[in-house]
Each structure stands twice: as structure tokens, then as C-alpha cells.
Amino acid sequence: RSVNIVAFGNERDDGFSEDNQQPSLIWSYLGRSALISQIDSSLSASHVGNPVFTEYQACVFGNVRLVVHDCPVWDIFDSDWYTSRSLIGGADIIVIKYSVNDKTSFQELKDSYVPMIKKALNHCSVPVIISAIGARKNGVPCTCPLCTSDRRSCVTTSEGVQLAKELGATYLELHTLNDFYIQKYFGGVLEYFMIQSLNQKSSEKMKKRKKMQKCHRVQPPQLEQPEKMPILKGEASHYDADLHNLLCCCQCADVAFYPEDLSTVVEAHKIILCSVSHLFMLLFEVKSPADIHDASIVRTAQSLFAVEAGAAFPLAPRGIPPCVPPVRVVVKDSVFCSCLPDILHFIYSGAFQWERLEEDIKKKLKDPEKTEHVLEKVKCILKTPGKLNTVKDCRSHQIKRLYNTSLRLFFNTPVLADVIFKIQGATVPAHRAVLVARCEVMAAMFNGNYLEANSILVPVYGVSKDTFLSFLEYLYTDSCCPASILQAMSLLICAEMYQVMRLQHICELYIITQLQSMPSRELASTSLSIVSLLKKAKFHNSDCLSTWLLHFIATNYLIFSQKPEFQDLSVEERNFVEMHRWPSNLYLKQLADYRNYVHSQKCHCTVM
């Protein structure tokens, strides 16, 4: 017997930080509860140095196996939706945690992730516990649902109760992680749901046992489980590495930074710089001072940089870019200029390794005052207009989302665009730097001896506009959300055309997940041709998907053998399906013999 618990969210006031020694809610409960024994924990290996979840295994109620997956970072829903869906699908109890003093994280949970959880729980009844943790820092903790005195800076009780109503969840407020709140309050509710889950599993097991005991004389043939489907594993993201490599090779660079004596040069890309900094948007005229609404950013831009007059990078007529050097930017601050390569590496690596940047600048300058001076300039470059700039805001866990979410702002917009794709009579603007960094085929196309290397207008054939836009969106944001199986297949074909293997794997996983979730009745009535998907997967070198689809057809043999498309299978494919079909011919023969026996005995079998 076992109970699976999945916990999402971070209960700490200042976010996910390594230097915060406050124990987590789950670990506190496992360590304090008298019912828990033999605790073991391990980190997931999905991301080195930044585990997606911690897995705890223990014993509860003596001999019941307890498995807990603690996921403190909500990014799992954005970067690995397949794993997040699997965790929720296998959960007996779900715990959602948040700090009452982190209003920003709560709002993001409510707006972005609660709808995903509701969708995942649409077809199952899993108990949900929402735990609001911590004492509100702006006064006595509020216990009145109608109180609005601390609504601006803290999460109120009424907001937590409303969130619980949306999910049909049990709401708890834990002002501190002491013995009372952990054992008697949180532990009491959690153990109640554990008992309910065990009782439900025991009841289902008893029903199955009684059903098997109804026929005592001659048992019907045992139907074995179908063969296990091939397992597809997702490929880890290399988004940050792709963009960092762009800085190292300096392809498509359109900015050159010089010191005042013009002795050295450091090349970069406007689109990358503007994606993380309002200051660079102002410098390269993407935004005006009136748009920024922050005098400190304007002053820093004017005091730190000077764009040389007439050094623009315009587009030439007849669709051919001129042989003009990149925009020349003079760095007025010599100390800052000496650290510029390190700062650009920081930005191109995703703009979240703040601690590493501090160490690199300290080693280079060996002067605390100069180091602080440069770091303050970097903070102002990363500053959001109208907000105070604190050391906390520059910690890695606070700013790691700047990069791919900000680059989305330049997707399918003419701002800073230097290439235009023409597809199905429409035009789609894009940026060579992003395309070259994220796609090897486009890197060869724009940097080799091809017509596209010197053209602004690039025609695209063989894919639809919507599919190509989804492809570009993945290149810019490292994420994609197909609307249907057919759209995912079209995107897979486009990904194979441009050799973006991770996107191809994401589309394969999406198709497999959608087909696995189809009930048999829907599978029998759908107009979607699985054989057609199989042919396309084979033609476009998607070996994993084609192998899985063959197993899927064999496993659902009784459904697909009645469809006209079944005749379109090749001889080799038909032989494979017949060999691995479920149920097998042997089982059907045994079942026919059993029916004949029951009829000859003139007895009624409740199983049949």
C-alpha cells in the first residue's frame, strides 16, 4: 500500500534562495510527525544545480509507503509540462504552498498556474490542500475574511479562501512552522486525506477480489496486459547556451562597444541587449525617454554610453543590406568598459547568474569601491522603470526569468527586425541573431554562400503561416503549445525541416500524450487518421514516434482493424501489428473455447 503526495510552491518569504535556512513545510512535517519513519530523500536530475523537485520516501501508519514530490519552483509547468502532468496524474493528495508575504508569487500562482492545475484535475477527484505560510510582516496576522488592511503588501485570508474555492480545496493558515501548526493542524488534515485515500484503494481492491471469486468452477482465460509502449524522454533545454554561443562567435553582430581611446572593441546584438534592459531600449531608440518614465535610467544611459552620430544600421533598397559596420557605441566609463566582456557574458547567459558576475568583477578589479561602482551600473541596466533597485532584486532566483520572457516582446514585431519572411502572401519580421543562435540550418543559410545571406526578404515554402509562426515562437521563447495533434504534427515537420531536434521531441511527446488520454470510444469515432500520422512520422525521420504509433495501433487492434485506413499499412507494418496485437489470437481462441464450455454446461457465468 502507498500514498503519493505532490507539493507545489515555495513557502519562503524571499523566494527560492540557497542562503535561506528556513525548513520547508514538507520536511518539517516529515521530521516532526510521530507517524513517519524511515525517511529518505533525493533530488531530481532534470537540471544540474537547480533540481525540479525533491523526492521523499518514508513509512506512515507503520507499513504504508509514503512518496512525496516537493516542487518549490513553478517553472516546471513552463519548462517541463510533461513531467508536471505526470506528477499530478499520479497524485493521491496535492499540497499548494505560498508565503503570505510574497504577493507577487501568489498573483503569478493565481493567474498562470491555477488554471493549469484545474485543467489537469478536470477528470479526477484528488483532494487539494492550500497552505498559506508565515506571519504577515505589516502587523498582526489577519483572521477576518473581510479585512483589506494588508491587501497591498501581503496575501490576505480572503484571497487565500477565494483561491481555495476555485480549486475546491481545503484552506489552512500556518503562522509559523512549529509543532502545533505542523503536527496538529497541517498534519491532522493531511493524515485525514491519507486515510481517505487508503480506504478508497482498499475498497477498490476488495471489489476486484470479489469479482474474481464469482466464478468458482472454471475460470475464464486470463487476459495479459498489452506490451509496454516505448518511452520517449524529453531533451534538456539549451536555450541559454545557444544565446551565449552567439556572443562567442559574434555572428550577425550589429553593435560595437569602444572605450574612449578606441583601443579595443566588443561586439554584441541589439535584440539580446534590449530583451533584458530598458536602458538599451532607450539607447537604441526602441523606446523614448517619455516611454521609460524613469529619470535614473535616462541619466545612466547618457552618462555611460554615447552612440556615434550617423552610425545607424539602416536597410538598403531592393532588399539587400549594405556593407555597413555595426552601430558604434562609446563607453564613457573606463572601469565599466574594462568589465564589459564579463557583463555581456552575464547577459547572454540568461541574466541570472548574479553571484558569478560579482565574483568575476571582484577578481578583475580587486578594488571594493570600483567593484561596487560597476555592479550599481549593471543593476541600473537591469532595472525595471519605476521600481527600486535592491540587492535582493539582483539575486539569481529573482531575475532569472528576465531573459526568455522578455525576448517574447520582439517576436513577430518589426522592431529591430533585419529579415522578413514571406509565406502564403503574408510577411513575418524576425531577427537574424536569434535565428542564427537557435537554429543551425538558419545559421548556415544566413552566413554561407546562399542568396538569403544578402537578402532582407526570404521566401518560405512547404509550411503554413501559423505553423511557421509557432516555429519562430519556439526559437524566441523556448516553449510551444500546439492546439491540436494535427498542428503538432505540422510543427514537427517544420522542426525536422530546420533540424531543431528538441522541438521535434516536444511535438512527439505532445502527440503521444494526447493519444494516450483518448478514451476507446473517442478513438473509435475520431476522424483523425493514426495511420496517416504514422506515414508522416516515418517520412520525416521521427523514428521514436513512428515506433510508438505502431505499438499504439497493435495495442488497440480491435479498434483500428475495423477502420478503412488499416488497409493502408505496408506488409511489414501489418506483420508487426499482427505479431504484437492485443488481445492476441491465442487469447481469443481460449475465450471461444471457454464460451463453448459454459454453453455446454448450461450454466450462467456472471463474468461473461
pLDDT in tens, 17-70: 444 556 778 888 877 776 666 667 665 544 434 456 788 888 887 788 888 888
pLDDT of residue 530: 94
508 contact partners, CB below 8 Å, separation of at least 6: 232, 492, 542, 544, 545, 548
From the list 37, 27, 35, the residue with the least C-alpha distance to 7 is 27
What's residue 343's pLDDT?
Answer: 93
Which pLDDT tens digit goes with each residue over 140-179?
A: 555 555 554 445 578 898 999 998 898 888 898 888 877 7
Q: What is the pLDDT of residue 475?
A: 95
Helix intervals (H) in 230-386: 239-249, 270-276, 278-283, 289-292, 295-304, 334-338, 340-348, 354-365, 368-382
Q: What pLDDT was estimated at residue 537?
A: 95
Cα→Cα distances 262→303, 334, 512, Å: 18, 11, 57
Give the pLDDT score at 112: 83
Residues of the chain with pLDDT under 50: 16-19, 45-50, 148-150, 215-216, 311-324, 391-392, 396-404, 608
Asked if 424 contacts 464 with a C-beta cutoff of 8 angstroms, the reply is: yes
Q: Element (H or E) spanning 420, and its range?
A: strand 419-423
Residue 202 is given by DSSP the state H
Q: Which residue has the cell 495533434?
A: 485
Q: Residue 403 and residue 346: Cα distance in Å, rounded?
A: 11
pLDDT score, position 142: 55
d(CA 334, CA 89): 56
Report the pLDDT value the prediction gives residue 584, as an integer from 0 to 100: 85
Query: CA angle at residue 407 from 405 to 412, to 5 degrees?
Result: 115
pLDDT of the residue at 25? 82
